[in-house]
Amino acid sequence: MRVSKMGAKAKKSLKKKLTKASQLAAARRAKEQSSDFLPLEGEQATKLPEEEEEDKATVLYIGHIPHGFYEEQMEGFFKQFGKVKRLRIARNRKTGRSKHYGFLEFENPAVAKVVANEIHNYLLFEHNLQIHLIPSEKIHPKLWKGVGKTHVPHRWIEMERKRHNKERTTKEYQSLVQGILKRDAKRRKRIKDAGIEYECPVFVGNIQTANKKIKFADEEEEEEE
């Protein structure tokens, strides 16, 4: 799936806000450096008013991710606004399919804040992206576990083949034969109740083969005893 970039006007407006946020952050840092001075001799140091700590959160939660908007497309879309440090889409462990939510981290906190405010509810492939800034203290230690790894789904056909061809015990063979006979009896009854004249195939050959295996297994067990 190809992801189109934002419109020219929206992108221009967002760039202005990003520039303004970067300028404010730079001005704040310059002010902090200029206010760091020593008191004059014989005078008490002036206590500067305490300012609120700057929010340095850079991780975003992204919800309502549409089908086909995966890691590669997501990085290509969000790198328009700033450098993407890392990203992760939550996936099903068995199938590898997207759970339609994920996490993205920008290098610049100002960029992350502007993107969270401006791209929230952005319409993308008939889905409104839900973007929220995650405070630094609320980030789970295992949030980025497995990031960058390619998911390999289970090989169901191979697993089923091994299960079907595995060696069975005497009890397992007996249970298998009983299951075949039980299902065959139900099938014959349904056909008869429907008033259909049909000769169902007989499983005598398969059942006899299974019974021989059971008998042979029983004889081996008796010899061992």
User: Tell me: the pLDDT tens digits for 31-58?
Assistant: 555 444 445 455 554 454 444 455 688 8
> Cβ distance 84 to 18 under 8 Å?
no
Domain spans of the chain, in order of start? 1-28+55-151, 167-224
pLDDT at 5 over 50: yes
| Apex 100 CA angle, 99 and 105, nearest 5 | 105
Mean pLDDT of the chain: 77
pLDDT one-digit tens code per residue, 166-214: 888 888 888 888 888 888 889 888 998 999 888 777 765 555 555 555 5
C-alpha span between 225 and 218 (Å, rounded): 11
pTM, two decimal places:
0.52
- Residue 212 confidence (pLDDT): 58
**Domain covering 1-28+55-151 in this structure, CATH number:** 3.30.70.330
pLDDT one-digit tens code per residue, 94-146: 778 889 999 999 998 989 998 998 889 988 888 899 999 999 888 888 888 87
